Structure 1
């Protein structure tokens, strides 16, 4: 009897799809997420890529790569079900003009859900290596590339080579040598570096993605609000590392990922960072700070928030600490207002610093693009140790439909702490839409999370 019941349950389980707990799948199942991502890919390649190729003068863009040595632009080009290149895959984009649009070819790869026209050769290529014959799988793709180029005869061929941007430097030395040897001087002389093309394609976001990104940031806030509460922290018992691992677990249980190990640190009246040690026990009166980032549907958040651990008899943070947070908020306002399309990261940094000093804010600005990568493609707005500007990486211009993490700190002496300087480090994600207007992806922290 028991065996019959068990067999029946197994048959029922096989016939019925398993549905995950919706509370632990805030963005649906993996399949549902992939369907959304596929639509994003199709829209981005049809609407974002053509004007970018024309802006940067690239009639053809060739992106060769091998399995496990993918170009950084790879994740911006492929379907959510594609995790790596196939042996050798060469993506070719050819601009046929405004009427016909950009032709998209995948040599040796799949169609990515119908986005590309796939062309594949199964021929083995014999080559002499070290005085002996060796079969080189994948070299047939170079011959196919040559045929594609000769058929289309592009005026310029963009390649991903850059000494400034990692995102635009995906063409490896081996692939460059193999491609150059196969194509010969007639075509290699038409190679052009188009750094901005790769950077801006990775950086550009869609309105549909912006709507999702708001939800992802809201989830990040929900996580932090619980992490910085008595649900997780017991003053005098909980260590900062306990909060870190709670956040990691929160993210993992929802089928998502962290793009870096979260961190939690604290400041305490009368204590230096050295005296506190690496993993201090959280005490009443501490100011807590976290840095965390979540990955979902290939998009990433980057958030830093602050909390205060109430002392006995307190119902809110001391006035001096609240005033310090307000100073940091003011610096956020300044950087947000100065970040707009057409301006370089270095220009934004300089203008923000001028206003910061005029308002007597003791601060540091080190903001960065975000999107498909945590430290994303686009212009840097300072680095914590490069407040004079960042040559090269800070000289790129902001584009419409781009996102940034406004990351900075303001240091303020706090009267209740005997004039001890307290560092208010904050980070909040913002979006710039097609209208060019910057706004917070969700909202920004204006009051401390309170731990009772």
Structure 2
């Protein structure tokens, strides 16, 4: 008889379009549209542009942000500003002036009507065939005499690096002396994307809960001596298919199920799960094709005669959990990412953990490793800039508490208690209840 400790009978209810669906039911095919409802992204995008972008422009100390969108080789920020359907070249301008915040788009006539219907920009100017949207935008920039103009050319942030070489050349030629006013949009994009609206946090909360619940279900499927890591990964893939969600990161490495020696970011193998194994599941899902979760859950497979994990395994678990908890406590507005990493690693050292190369945590939201402060760097020879960034209210993170030790074969095993949290005014809070006890599996 197979047992799973602690007994976790999680019932998850979502109310979507007045339909309530239980996620603890037997495997079934779910209509994704009925389960999730219509995507809230259009309205959330509009809120993000009008509420958060003016603040981001001020924080980045720029007068105007220019984004050029086009067909087939579009800017990575395009769908955040409504430019995902660009055919001909379109130019999006965002700026603050004495009258407030403004968004102005110079769009080819073939797309201008549809873009205007989205109702997310102050003004959409239709550009007739044979006329350059870039020329019109440059004329407007000169008319407004903007001082600092951010454009999407960045060495450090891929989301702020969409302007091609030829586009940059053309823009500088048209701007003339004004081209000296161009700066990378790195800080604008950072300040904007790193903050999530409360509505987005709630979506991430639901995604995190599903991610954790399914991992608990997956552990119930483990048959020691028979089940492989790949079998458990396949079970989770099936849950994703049933509920109409996508992978949180590269499909071949999501989920990563690992009952053996550390493999880092990798795929699940055919390694057979055996008594005495510590099992890691690192798993994330993407909901509404937009927001991403990243949660880990750990289990121990009891050996014959055992009713609980051995003292050393329990020590490793409690050590890693303590590291996660102190990271959360340090994650306050005004702290730096490196501060969170340092607090967690102090406990690691005290508990006798081996060295772990990974950062304590990272922003999570639109991708698994999102834009925002890196929670790392305290053990590095130099602290990377993202770790020196200040933590702010509205940021969301996935973060670990670590404990690593040597296995009998000389390899290393790491428990990495990974949870998700949002930063509030007075500190951070978990998105969902964290894992408190190591899950125990027996025959």
The reply on whether 1:146 has 2:138 as its aligned counterpart is: yes
Q: Secondary structure at the match of 2:417?
A: strand
Decide whether the 8 Å contact of 2:229 with 2:272 is kept in 1: yes
- TM-score using structure 1 length: 0.79
Residue 191 (structure 2) aligns with: 200
Decide whether the 8 Å contact of 2:78 with 2:84 is kept in 1: no
Residue 215 (structure 1) aligns with: 206
Q: Secondary structure at the match of 1:228?
A: helix
Q: 1:409 to 1:68 in 2, by over 3 A?
A: farther
The reply on whether 1:432 has 2:423 as its aligned counterpart is: yes
Decide whether the 8 Å contact of 2:106 with 2:137 is kept in 1: no
Q: 1:420 to 1:252 in 2, by over 3 A?
A: closer
Q: 1:400 to 1:69 in 2, by over 3 A?
A: farther
Q: 5+ residue gaps in structure 1? A: 1-18, 126-139
Q: Secondary structure at the match of 1:48?
A: helix
The reply on whether 1:329 has 2:327 as its aligned counterpart is: no
Q: Considering only aligned residues, what root-mean-square deviation do their CA atoms show, in Å?
A: 3.2
Residue 131 (structure 1) aligns with: none
Please give the per-residue CA displacement for 1:345-403, whole angstroms capped at 9, x wherever unaligned.
2343334434543565545351111111111101212279x744542332332222001
Q: Secondary structure at the match of 1:340?
A: coil
Aligned with 1:448 (options 430, 433, 438): 438
Residue 376 (structure 1) aligns with: 370
Q: 1:325 to 1:373 in 2, by over 3 A?
A: same
Residue pairs, 1:69-108, within 5 angstroms: 69-78=73-82, 83-97=84-98, 99-105=99-105, 107-108=107-108
How many angstroms does 1:48 deviate by?
A: 0.8
How many angstroms does 1:228 deviate by?
A: 1.1
Aligned with 2:118 (options 113, 118, 124): 113
Residue 393 (structure 1) aligns with: 386
Distance 1:106 1:405 in 2: 38
Q: Secondary structure at the match of 1:250?
A: helix
**Bigger radius of gyration among the two:** 1
Decide whether the 8 Å contact of 1:310 with 1:450 is kept in 2: yes
Aligned with 1:122 (options 112, 125, 128): 128
Please give the per-residue CA displacement for 1:125-157, whole angstroms capped at 9, x wherever unaligned.
6xxxxxxxxxxxxxx221221233234332221
Distance 1:112 1:31 in 2: 24
- TM-score using structure 2 length: 0.81
How many angstroms does 1:27 deviate by?
A: 7.5
Decide whether the 8 Å contact of 1:27 with 1:33 is kept in 2: no
Distance 1:31 1:247 in 2: 18
Q: Secondary structure at the match of 1:394?
A: helix
How many angstroms does 1:324 deviate by?
A: 1.5
Q: 1:31 to 1:331 in 2, by over 3 A?
A: closer
How many angstroms does 1:248 deviate by?
A: 1.6
Residue 134 (structure 1) aligns with: none
Q: 1:446 to 1:351 in 2, by over 3 A?
A: closer
How many angstroms does 1:94 deviate by?
A: 2.0
Please give the per-residue CA displacement for 1:271-293, whole angstroms capped at 9, x wherever unaligned.
x98xxx94211123321111111
How many angstroms does 1:312 deviate by?
A: 3.8
Q: 1:425 to 1:440 in 2, by over 3 A?
A: same
Aligned with 2:170 (options 148, 168, 178): 178
Stretch of structure 1 that moved more, 360-369 or 207-216? 360-369
Stretch of structure 1 that moved more, 312-321 or 62-71? 312-321
